[in-house]
Amino acid sequence: MPSSNPAFKGLGGAGNGQQYAGWNAQPQYGAPADPYAAPSPYAATGTQYMTMDDVVTKTGLTFLVTVLTAAATWMAVPDEVAIGLLFPAVIVGLILGLVISFKQIANPVATLSYAAIQGVLVGAISEFYAENFSYNLITQAVIGTFGVFFGMLVVYKTGAIRVTPKLTRWIVGALFGVLALMLVNLVASFFTDGGLGLRDGGPIAILFSLVVIGVAAFTLLLDFDMADEAIRRGAPAKFAWYISFGLLLTVVWLYLEILRLLSYLQSE
């Protein structure tokens, strides 16, 4: 079962001890080796294996690029121009994200380019919410996002919640359920004002946002488990860029949903 994070599709089974078996798996004794088998692009063929320092350093750099780009978009770009960048940022980010995910691209150019695009998106959306609600809303969303991030990291590291195959299946199912509801609500909004009521700011919308935030938070557990499993399996150091990409994807999603929820509550 793959990770629930869209960035990690197709990388093998999920759960402790089940991911990344193809990175440094050895043939069974007595089994003939396939001389024509193509090596995995992430096969650990050298001695430079990924460490937790690699993950922390590359993830920190990735987040820094996003934050700086978001700040530049907010402060240096006029309001009308920043709002106009929203749609292009969404489209380009979606396309690049899908390419990185499905081709499993692990290099700094791809990850940092995606981080910059997400920064434009975050900066433009933050400016929109700040202008229409309050600047305090942005501060609260940032604090809430990193509070959830570090909270789930503590939960994971202490073993309070263990990432098991069963938990992974539940999170994956919840993720697909949330995405399906979002799509149905979007289609319904073309025919009925407010669609299913999942994004209209009412009680149902508030409940739905809480569910989405919960799913995003639990997705972080799978992301953390992926990093640990990659290290245990001997993934090459460059794979940390791919993990950084996945973590950024989840954190930006979490931030935008928390921002949306806070705007609902402020409108009440």
| Dist CA 54 CA 223 (whole Å) | 15
Please state, rounded to an integer, the average pLDDT across all residues of the chain.
82
> pLDDT at residue 4 above 70?
no
Q: Which has the higher per-residue pLDDT, 268 or 108?
A: 108
| Dist CA 63 CA 244 (whole Å) | 8
- So what's the pLDDT on residue 186? 86
Please state whether the predicted TM-score (pTM) of the whole model is above 0.85. Answer: no
191 pLDDT band, cuts 50/70/90, is: confident
- So what's the pLDDT on residue 146? 93
Rg (CA), the chain: 20
Q: Which has the higher per-residue pLDDT, 27 or 191?
A: 191
- So what's the pLDDT on residue 268? 60
Cα 11 vs. chain centroid, distance in angstroms?
A: 15
127 pLDDT band, cuts 50/70/90, is: confident
- So what's the pLDDT on residue 47? 53
The residue type of 111 is T
Q: Taking residues 54-79, report their average pLDDT.
A: 90
Q: How far is CA 136 from CA 68, 173, 224, in A?
A: 19, 34, 30
> pLDDT at residue 150 above 70?
yes
What secondary structure letter does DSSP report for 7? G
Contact yes or no for 74/82 (Cβ under 8 A): yes
Q: How far is CA 128 from CA 66, 108, 266, in A?
A: 17, 30, 15
Q: Which has the higher per-residue pLDDT, 58 or 132?
A: 58
81 pLDDT band, cuts 50/70/90, is: confident
Q: Which has the higher per-residue pLDDT, 201 or 156?
A: 156
% the chain with pLDDT above 90 = 54
What SS3 class is residue 236?
Answer: strand
In the chain, domain spans? 49-267
Please report the sign of the dihedral spanned by the C-alpha atoms of residue 78, residue 84, residue 90, residue 93: negative
Weakest mean pLDDT among 1-5, 75-79, 137-141, 228-232: 1-5
- So what's the pLDDT on residue 48? 83
Contact yes or no for 113/95 (Cβ under 8 A): no
